[in-house]
Amino acid sequence: MIKGYMLIGGKKVFKKEKIVIDFPFDGSPVGTVPRGKKEDVELAVETALKGFEKVKSMTAYERYQALQKAARIIASRSREFAELLTLEVGKTIKESMGEVGRAVNTITLSAEEAKRVLGEEVRFDAAPGIKGKVGFFRRVPLGVIGCITPFNFPLNLTCHKVAPALAAGNAVVIKPSENTSLTVIKLAEVLVEAGFPPEAVNVVTGYGEEAGDALVRDERVRMITFTGSVATGKIIMSRGGLKKYAMELGSNAGVYVDKDQTGRLKELAERIGRGGYALAGQVCISVQRVFVHESLFEEFTKELCSFSKSLKVGDPRLEETDVGPVIDRNAADRIMEWIEEARSMGAQVLCGGRRLSETLIEPTVVVNVPREAKLFRQEVFGPVIVVNPVDSLEAAIEAVNDSPYGLQAGIFTNDLKAAFKFAEEVECGGIMVNEIPTFRVDQMPYGGVKESGIGREGPKFAVEEMTEIKTICFDLN
């Protein structure tokens, strides 16, 4: 059992009340973390204000150096981080190693951005009657940023919030998911070890309604960056008041397979399947809704089921496992309820659909799902792929857009005009042409429209979100 703690100003803070973190595969306890409350958040924010004064006085090069060092430390401890990720999240060890590699990349990219927090000259004399005035604007850090991070990528998605914040000269208070806090504590310690002031990197563990709520409501926190559900995102914005927000609120990503893809259905089924079943479907851009031209529907679903059945489901600690458990029993209960609801509404479960344990669900393909079903309308966050036939590109675009979400979408086609039409008309933050919507590299602008969120991640774009413009004018008359 790992005894976790809060990290406030570099000091380990323990409490009598604890939260147990369980291994999703079998429910065995991995460790405990303190149940942080309002007073812990207030102390962390007070500490972060002192940390902000220190981190903003670091030179751009010093912040760059510290982030580079943090990336090197994590790279040297890759296996240690990966094994903890697997225990906390339940993702396979292969997926965990992949996340550690991406986190190293995210921090390295953020290090480079520390040297690029740039402004530009403002031409005041471009206004009529103005002479002898020169000036510029600069980007300056906001202050204390509250980072509320999710369970599914506790290392890399925390890096996406914390590393750009520090690169820009801010201090942070991190409230990790209560399911996966141990990895985040380890990350925070690495950032301090790498050279950031201990007061600038704080972690308060606990529940969203307690520690998270106190962080959101604190007027000294200048920005909240959050990854999670739409419902929680709306609550945060209603309670947080006048501050900046970056919100990544999920999706039910759609992809269209055009009628000209006849020769590559086996390959596409495998790619789409991997996009739907990675991390047991618990990725914001998991492939959830597939729209296939009706002429290819039967062959495509046959290939997708063949691939789905080939995947090994089980203990995520084993190298040969392809699909591990979902995060907990409640999540599995909900996923199974949604599958049954779709079935009762006339959908057909072509393969999978069985629960192998409390948290293990077979990779599942459900076809002809009505649009009013939860599997179509909401985010399943489980190893379930919906496949519906469509008779045209226009029908596919309309079906992809028939969603409250708009994070990423994809199209497979050889027709350049079709690709452009899809890219122009689909309402999403990212369009992947001849690629699954699950594709993401950490330097790209990542974020959604509609209920998928506000703002963009990716170190360069996060730095812009986490700074504000200060205009400076000199009168030379």
Is the alpha carbon torsion for 149, 153, 156, 160 positive or negative? Answer: negative
Residue 416 CB partners (closer than 8 Å, separation 6+): none
**DSSP secondary structure string, 301-364?**
HHHHHHHHHHS-BS-TTSTT-SB---S-HHHHHHHHHHHHHHHHTT-EEEE---B-SSS-B--E
Determine how β-strand 467-475 pairs with β-strand 133-141: antiparallel
Residue 377 CB partners (closer than 8 Å, separation 6+): 252, 371, 403, 404
**DSSP secondary structure string, 355-401?**
B-SSS-B--EEEES--TTSHHHHS---SSEEEEEEESSHHHHHHHHH
| CA gap 244, 237 in Å, rounded | 9
Q: Which of 284, 305, 351, 428 is catalytic?
A: 284
Residue 13 CB partners (closer than 8 Å, separation 6+): 5, 6, 7, 34, 40
Q: 284 an active-site residue?
A: yes
Q: Which of 248, 451, 457, 465 is catalytic?
A: 248
| CA gap 248, 454 in Å, rounded | 7
Q: 248 an active-site residue?
A: yes
Among 99, 85, 93, smallest CA distance to 318 is for: 93
Name the residues annotated as catalytic: 248, 284
